[in-house]
Structure 1
Amino acid sequence: MDQDNSLNVGRDARILARKSWTAYIRVVLLGLVALVLLAAFWGANWKGGLLLTVPVVAFLVYQVLEIRSHHLYVDDIGVWHSRGILPWSKGITGVKWRDLDEAVFFQGLGSWLLKSYTVRIGHRFTKANEIIMTHMAGGHEAAMTVNAMHQDLVRQGRLG
């Protein structure tokens, strides 16, 4: 089981899902367009091309790292979504077990073929506190695991 104490998670934290390869498609397409434009700048003026290459590459690397930072995990307290790589953009949102409504995943032909799902972790009392994550690898299994864990806690009478 994975545990990251820097995020102040509860005991026995376990990552259920991460972003799928489909989340990177936008960054790859953006990189290809940037490559074509940068090649044109390099051909016209190598100094201008070099000046533009550094921030473009830095932006693309940041985008990849940002996508990699998304995790859906559970612990003894609830279900959580952590994300962010920079100190001011790091964050965790979650739903405690006692407030959990249900975990669902949305499946269409594309998500079934690509194994990349949108997952929604619902809050019993308000939609503002629910977790919605797109492009999740194993999102269908994560939703079923969350629901099974929640049902076990209800059966054991540990939610009060």
Structure 2
Amino acid sequence: MQNDLPGAGGDDETALAFREHRLSWVAYGDAILKGLVAIAISIALMLSPRWIMMTPITARILSYAGIAFVLCALGILIYRFCYIRRVRLYTDQDGVWCYRGILPWRRGIVGTNWRDVRQASYGTGFVRWATKAYPINVDNRFTDTDPITLSHVHRGHEFVGHVNAWRNRMLRQEGETLR
């Protein structure tokens, strides 16, 4: 495992190399679980005329509604999978960035420059530790409206350590240039 603290390791530049992180398999599992629940509800809706006495027209309407809900749930599940595959959280010499989106009008990069990063943080817990999928939050020190917030980032704790180490390094460099 790579140590992200400056000066704590053999090669400082290697420890502070820029990174790219993706979402964990837990994000896919979450999408599958939600999709299966929606499909199960839809199938129950389609099969409800077999369990409850109702008029034939109502039974037909419920069957068509169930089919429509199954198709919508499958479409949303496919969209969610494609979205999860596209999410990229990365750092470069300018700051912390998140690329996400599939549809052209929703696709883009959000982020914060190094000089504007307040802090990066992540949530803890046993399941998060066991799966190595952490929710992360990178705050902007000037606005509270645009933090980078992602759930289920693979090795998100390492990403947060990396971002905070780079932020501290930038602050030290600014302090040296001001003197």
Which TM class, normalised by the smaller chain length?
A: 0.7 to 0.9
Q: Equivalents in 1 of 2:143, 2:72: separation in Å? A: 40
Deviation at 1:85, TM superposition (A): 0.8
Structural mapping, 1:15-34, within 5 Å = 15-33=19-37
Return the match for 2:129 from 112, 133, 136. Answer: 112
Q: Equivalents in 2 of 1:34, 1:99: separation in Å? A: 41
Aligned counterpart, 2:152: 135
TM-score scaled by structure 2? 0.67
Which is greater in Rg?
Answer: 2
Q: Equivalents in 2 of 1:84, 1:121: separation in Å? A: 19
| Partner amino acid, structure 2, of 1:141 | E
Q: Equivalents in 1 of 2:35, 2:91: separation in Å? A: 34
Instruction: Name stretches of at least 5 consecutive residues in structure 1 with no aligned partner.
Output: 1-12
TM-score scaled by structure 1? 0.74
The structure with more strand, counted as a fraction of residues? 1
SS class of match (2:105): coil
Equivalent pairs: percent with the same residue? 37
Q: Equivalents in 2 of 1:75, 1:159: separation in Å? A: 21
Q: How many residues align?
A: 147
Q: Is the 8 A contact 2:86 2:102 kept in 1?
A: yes
Structure 1 residue 58 and structure 2 residue 75: aligned? Answer: yes
Q: Equivalents in 2 of 1:100, 1:66: separation in Å? A: 26
